[in-house]
Structure 1
């Protein structure tokens, strides 16, 4: 971006919402899919016929998409798919784009007015965030997903969120830090890993694949409506549990949270942690938090954008290492190591002595 002139940057940023709008129209008309199905370039008329749209309008849309780099303009009135347009034929690309444009973007646009209305204080109440102003509702983010009919799209987008990114076990050396030192004297009752709020068990499944030889139970916990959708498995147990209530499994080797805490302001995070700490065995149990850790200098564009997204949707935040340490200390925990990853890291903590 250093080669970009200031005037060009202004134009790019000011007109960014227009690119987003044309992207959304292209998804509605299946333009990316139409072009991707053909090996040869297509004319405006051919795309318009497939999409059932006016050719004059289609020409304007295709010109924009080509200028944005979404598709290739290979000749006069000749357009072809490229790797970027093919990305928007995938479930991940389609669901993320629709969720962002239809739900998140209105909340982002509400940020300036919202912050002005609260005199530029950092938001800490998930029931009073930009998203409530955007949709003129008093419902929490998750309730708004249902109310707006975007829940299924959001769930699909989140299920593909980690596609192409490092997994938990690519960052954290589980053999060294969990398997070694596991108390096998507990017999069949011993718990190796509790995945708290773990959705459909993706991370436990990856754990089993990477570490097939191990002792101890693997337990998936989540809300009843999530657990009811999880298929029975010989390798993991499922348990209905609300992490805002006391943790019923005591003395597990590890309690694991993936991308949970960035959804909540500090006080709610502290409540979750204070329900975990009493269940942990000092000197043995580990708390593992797989989440974004902002560096002191040079935070990535993705991480900083995620931080503002959390502000808009949940009055929550991405945290720096210092903020993580402070939060965990308030719950009677101490950080033993931060295993750095991109964009997510793994924070390892134990009960403070």
Structure 2
């Protein structure tokens, strides 16, 4: 069972912003030791696979995320945070900045590894020489060795004996997991070039909220991300798979929305419209938990709707409808109880996000709910630093690709107020263990 005692806190994460700048190495080390023991004791007591860099190590951190393991994951977060702090503190500012700027080399090695299919070239069990890899990839042995030996510092492959390469858990994942492989390839092929154009985009289009006036567009022939994918089916397919890898990861699962919102406060036979709902996979999970709800799935891409309808469980079909709809135009379904938008609005600047909300208004009855399942960025220095870095990175990626953003709770409140004064903003709730928020507004027209 999980420990009932709260884990030691991370000294560097406590106190004021100023105090966090002055952690002590010995206190960080104590935090690491204490929290590592909590996590390790649980893993061993439950007989879970022990974390390992070896090729047979688990692909994900082995402790499941649920109410029972809440304290274990708090300990894990404290361990991650303190470990990062002690590394950065012991490195010192000069070396930290000197080597931080070289991180593009890590991306470059991943690009080479995936482009030349090196994970498939290295046998799953056993080893292969640099010379054999070079021959199979049609590259010079010296250059293969240069790339892989840098990648090995990130534990992507390892050298069991001089001149030979074998898999680690990380490199095996690149070989066996198509979601991860597509995620890495999408980032190295499509996003990395855009990252080098952020400065130019800020100079050229500092106030723009248009998707075609971005760093991504400058890096890809002045095509917006959507135009780029629209004319390249294989890239679009990879993008979809990469987004699946991202959005189904720990903290992003649909179950957080299903369990994290009080759906029982709605009418028993409530109608829910999934705006921009793709195949309707979110509604399928809701339908399983609420057997009398009715669902209308909307999306601009008819192929997504057709896929969802053709693969829908026959027992659910009486409660589902699929409608082609562009969410920038007036909502065609009038008088529903809930209009749900998940992972759509962060793709758009405030100009277009406001249009999306305004497009709902003619369809809204008194008491109708608009529920948005996206991030509501925390105030600085309030989230776990490990999590905060991930969401701040995502925020910059949205700017780079689409002139869009991840929003704070105040931004959501403002968007609803600007769309129509009849919206009553209900706040942004973050379910336990979830990295996303449930943003809610009620339409009051009395």
Same fold at TM > 0.5: yes
Q: Is the 8 A contact 1:291 1:345 kept in 2?
A: yes
2:422 is equivalent to residue 344 of structure 1: no
1:74 matched to which residue of 2?
Answer: 160
1:254 matched to which residue of 2?
Answer: 338
2:172 matched to which residue of 1?
Answer: 86
CA shift at 1:123, angstroms?
3.3
TM-score by structure 2 length? 0.70
| In 2, Cα distance between equivalents of 1:294 and 1:180 | 26
- 3-state DSSP class of the match of 1:312? helix
2:31 matched to which residue of 1?
Answer: none
1:151 matched to which residue of 2?
Answer: 236
How many residues get paired? 339
| In 2, Cα distance between equivalents of 1:10 and 1:87 | 30
Q: Is the 8 A contact 1:168 1:290 kept in 2?
A: no
Which residue of 261, 264, 272 corresponds with 1:193? 272
- 3-state DSSP class of the match of 2:128? coil
Structure 1 gap segments, 5+ residues each: 185-190
2:352 matched to which residue of 1?
Answer: 268
Q: Deviations over 1:115-158 (max 9, x none)?
A: 1234xx44322232222222232x43201223456222212212
1:288 matched to which residue of 2?
Answer: 371
Q: More deviation in 52-61 or 14-23? A: 52-61
CA shift at 1:294, angstroms?
0.5
1:114 matched to which residue of 2?
Answer: 201
Relative to total residues, which structure has the larger strand share, 1 or 2? 1
Q: Is the 8 A contact 1:256 1:288 kept in 2?
A: yes
| In 1, Cα distance between equivalents of 2:417 and 2:440 | 13
1:228 matched to which residue of 2?
Answer: 306
Which residue of 1, 14, 39 corresponds with 2:101? 14
Change (3 A) 1:128 1:57: closer
| In 2, Cα distance between equivalents of 1:7 and 1:53 | 36
Which residue of 264, 267, 270 corresponds with 1:179? 264
CA shift at 1:312, angstroms?
1.2
2:108 is equivalent to residue 31 of structure 1: no
- 3-state DSSP class of the match of 1:15? helix
TM-score by structure 1 length? 0.87
CA shift at 1:44, angstroms?
2.0
| In 2, Cα distance between equivalents of 1:293 and 1:208 | 26
Change (3 A) 1:43 1:7: farther
Which residue of 38, 57, 60 corresponds with 2:143? 57
Which residue of 363, 377, 380 corresponds with 1:297? 380
Structure 2 gap segments, 5+ residues each: 1-83
CA shift at 1:340, angstroms?
0.7
- 3-state DSSP class of the match of 1:161? helix
- 3-state DSSP class of the match of 1:73? coil
Which residue of 378, 392, 401 corresponds with 1:313? 401
